[in-house]
Chains A and B, each alone.
Chain A
């Protein structure tokens, strides 16, 4: 028997009801409108944060959660650009997450949508299943099947979300497993743990390898707990809060076994969720304090490195890069200056700003899989802005952004190699020349288009 009292608040029910006092913090000034990607696309009130807050209030007052309302909640990318723009400090992220939990519980989606969601959420948050998918993907890319599919447009009959997943999949290289303990390469300054990340670990293992190399060069012992699961970010962002909480508890258990001064994350979406564990598990007696402590220890890799005195020598790299602010790094974690600072500290690097930098690229977790049209429009917009920087390299700190922008750039006919901040830093510390680096990336990406 459930002991949780079910209190009804209009069309919402506890738990995870959007809090009215948080809704009331919105003074309706509208400063969020131009920062919201969907307002930029659709230009209507209900597709702005201010309008969505109004819809939440309407539901709280009893308006039915109907298809129309759900459409506008679903269209929100959860990019948190509005939180950066909001002068009143409205906690929009918390509100939309709770609202999504309500939608998940009380709104029955069409069968095809439910099937899509089932596939995505049975795959992405599970590193072992992803590893299998990864093997298939690698085979698909290397056997020439990908080329066949793309030239014959065989997939054009498949469901849209499958086409999207196919088109954004990155080039899969060989995977090397990371040891559980990697000692510092110099005198030890401390010990940190690394979150591998589901998508990062499966599709971009080189980012984790670079992260570990840089941390060791900077004097840190690195612990990479084996059998770490998903952080719950993907689930939390779409309102599957109970699932997200379960992932969070397990991750805390895994990492608590190690005495470390920081948990390092190189995937922006994961980091922002882990920093919010305290809030997410505040109602859990056994985990509330531990979750808060875990969140406080979580650091994005750029944030962590910018906060320590660098000891590993950087070698010059004559290269012009465009830096992309991942929403969950720039807006959600407010980590904007640190990556730029790290990059600018490398002699020879010119960092170019991307115009409309605050507008999401459309990746937004699994948004580009569920909301393909809007995501593609935002991707094109971002790719155009990236291309017009005329940079040689795009730097992004989130695997979703990397896949989304790289595929949009390709679609636009202006491909640009993409790296994580830490990979460029690693190249500099390793003393790779800019020519070697660019050539390596051309080789990597060249095989993508089958050339």
Chain B
């Protein structure tokens, strides 16, 4: 391919072949997927920039030559959001990972996109601060990836998603221009909330090269309770009772029997023995408030039929409870060679009906489903277990996984809570949104990425410009041509 030759020729001027620029087929293959490993595409080239300038130059070259590019953090995403494009470039940001500044008095940090989420918290511990969004993969996922997917985590019930913790971004747009979004360390910038548009855009609006985050003061006290229930229904009732009382826990997590088994296998987290369901409730804040609140939480759990119930005595016990929960996805590997992590949202009160229907799906299909969820905000993470080596198993698992999403939509929920649409869920977008909705969303994309080069194939079922006939993928939007709309 001639285009590839000239692409390589120009990239070699920026990167050192073999270290910053990869072309060996076996090396390229290690980048073929992210955390959702059954979506795989081997890219043409991988680059590993360490400066914004290198990102800028790479994207400019891609823009010039019409080559698609995909930004990738540490490859832990669960929606195939970093799935490469076969003829395209993967921009791996895992080496672009300095913590530039911890501004303790202003409670802000400035980091490069490859910085690992938990490393930011570790770096701010000395100032008694922390970075709040905590996806279960926080020990490895990058903040750049969190920005792309607008990641949540167990504690977003109280503290919100990534978007609530980012105040400024430096971004390379799909035409290779380095721009700033947001107001740096300040809270709000006038005009359109482009920062808000960028966060959660799944790499379709450009690549972040510098991220300004909020840091929060560590709470005075954190208390974590774990309670065993005989069913998800009774645990769900306890969740409703707690939230209805006005208590806002930092986190409310639920795991069913299969998920508990996996977590025990993997990390020996010592959850109540024989529990059908466990509920983890964490309260944080001023000491008096936490202690009083915990008494009430305990009472609600008992009223709803909790069996064994204990409150972590120290940080070590608390860490072990969370280790079980946060390892649950990967721990499924001890029960099944392959699995799909689903990510849907439902109104919290529909939990019993939805879980009953998931159990029914599992029974009729013979596909095992383990359930882990952020129960406080109705974010389900059913884990659909299968074995790719068994013919037809993947297809059946995909069907079950899809049916679960249909269920979420049926109950008035959403097809994703925090993992993003990526390549995995493009086909469900049409079930949740009308053509007009999708066209409107694509208008935003057009404003940034006319040529559809920045992480193509993600989010939208049919990559086209709004108002155009489906199938025509390239070209300037008619509204732009007529002068009615302007490109940034």
Contacts and interface: CB of A to CB of B under 8 A. Distances in A.
A429 B338 CA distance: 53
A90 B266 CA distance: 10
A87 B325 CA distance: 11
Interface in B257-285: 265-267
A51 to B, nearest CB: 4
A391 B182 CA distance: 45
Interface in A402-431: none
Interface stretch (B25-33, B148-156, B366-374): B25-33
A66 B331 CA distance: 33
B338 A69 contact: no
Nearest to A43: B95
A68 B31 CA distance: 16
B124 interface: no
Contacts of B265: 89
A224 interface: no
Residue from B74, B92, B141, B266 with most neighbouring chain A CB atoms (10 Å):
B74
B266 A30 contact: no
Nearest to B36: A28
Interface residues of A, number: 32
Contacts of A46: 27, 30
B333 A89 contact: yes
B72 to A, nearest CB: 9
A33 interface: yes
Nearest to A30: B76
B94 interface: yes
A66 B18 CA distance: 13
B114 A27 contact: no
Given A27-B37, A27-B330, A27-B332, A63 B76 contact: no
Given A45-B75, A87-B330, A25 B33 contact: no
A26 interface: yes
B69 interface: no
A55 interface: yes
A28 B483 CA distance: 48
A55 B338 contact: no
A24 B30 CA distance: 15
Interface residues of B, number: 43
Contact of B29 (A29, A39, A58): A58
Contacts of B33: 28
A59 B26 contact: yes
A43 B330 contact: no
A372 interface: no
A136 interface: no
Contacts of B332: 27, 88
Interface in A70-97: 86-90
Residue from B140, B327, B338 with most neighbouring chain A CB atoms (10 Å):
B140
B339 interface: yes
B95 A44 contact: yes
B140 A31 contact: yes
Given A34-B140, A87-B267, A45 B330 contact: no
Interface in B296-355: 327, 329-334, 337-339
A107 interface: no
9 contacts: A29-B137, A29-B333, A33-B140, A34-B116, A44-B48, A69-B26, A87-B329, A87-B330, A87-B334
Interface of B: 18, 24-27, 29-35, 37, 48, 74-76, 92, 94-95, 97, 114, 116, 118-119, 137, 139-141, 265-267, 327, 329-334, 337-339, 389
Interface of A: 24-31, 33-34, 39, 42-46, 50-51, 54-55, 58-59, 63-64, 66, 68-69, 86-90
